[in-house]
Amino acid sequence: MDFNLTKEQTMIRKMVRDFAEEVIRPRTIEIDTEAKFPLDIFEQMGELGLLGIPFPEEYGGSGGDTLSYAIAVEEIGRVCGSTGLSYAAAVSLGASPIYYFGTEEQKKEFLTPLASGEALGAFGLTEPNAGSDAGGTKTTAVLDGEDFVINGEKCFITNASFAKTLIVTAVTGKNEKGKNIISAIIVPTDAEGVTITSNYDKMGVRGSDTAEIVLDNVRVPKANLLGDEKKGFSQFLYTLDGGRISIAALGLGIAQASLEKALQYAKERKQFGKSISNFQAIQFKLADIAMEVELARNMVYKSAWLKDNDKPFTKESAYAKLFATETAFRAANQAIQIHGGYGYMREYEVERYLRDAKLLEIGEGTSEIQRLVIARQLGC
């Protein structure tokens, strides 16, 4: 086993870390307090090629791999959870399904602007009554001549207010057993009948756009059907498997940031005449955080490696997502504890890490859903 990064992966890590430190870090507190989506930062990320890391150059991408992309998410998340979440969603949910399941025409028309950073995409799966139960989708798409007519409502959709295209899941019919056929359809956000609002006041990842979408008799060409009409459900399960790697990487970034802040503070803070890093109680907390961060990193990188090598990764991506996001919450919580009263204050940032980390235990499949996925993979 070789745990070393390639030369290209090492270069990407340095480039993204430098960008995150120089461009994003000075604005992280502002992004959180003002709950403002940093569109200009995403434009710069597009120019750097970050939005196209895992896609081929022929579609405007950078020709990288999943592991390079996971490293990029980790480095951005280490500085700003909001920016990291929107970045992860743009690539793994907004663009990847078109790459995996789209026709050549769809890739050229819709993927190229996303991969080249000219536009953002969003993935409309969750509905008011269909969250963990994605099979409970109520949005419908009915064929009328050469068009689909789509009606329904989506909620908690990342990046939708700033997206050029939406990938929407909708019921398109019934199978031979009478169950709903759920398909994925590409919908331009400027299509007539699409209404997008962003009125959520969130606990964390406040600078990441979260929107509600209403689709009222929206007409799109039949050619916008993504992949196999009857395999839409399995397609978005594959999409979510990949998305879990990126959310795990985001959790890893927040956990790493928590460790760094806690360690720095423990060395600087004096109590009873010496740094609190000399006290065993604090040392044990730091040791536990460091151990969990490294274990999470190994699982995140392994699941990305499996995906890159065309090996099954459903179970491993669930392991990674479950462990890394729960590690992020625990690490942030302990970082606050180590900071004491200062940890509760906004300027020390660790309280933001806790707020941001909580969402990661919910989005892209809750921790409970990850445990279900793992149990099923075990044959339960």
Residue with tokens 């490294």: 294
Identify whether 294 is a catalytic site residue. Answer: no
SS3 119: coil
Distances (CA, A) of 257 to 79, 112, 250, 290: 7, 33, 11, 11
Question: At residue 37, what are phi and psi to the nearest 5 degrees?
Answer: -70, 125
d(CA 17, CA 20): 5
d(CA 306, CA 309): 5
Give the β-pairing of 140-144 and 147-158. Answer: antiparallel
Tokens of 293: 């961060």
- Say if residues 32 and 207 touch (Cβ distance below 8 Å): yes
- The DSSP H or E segment spanning 154 is strand 147-158
Catalytic residue among 74, 75, 127, 364: 364
Say how many Å lie between the first and final Cα of the chain, rounded: 30
List the catalytic residues. 364
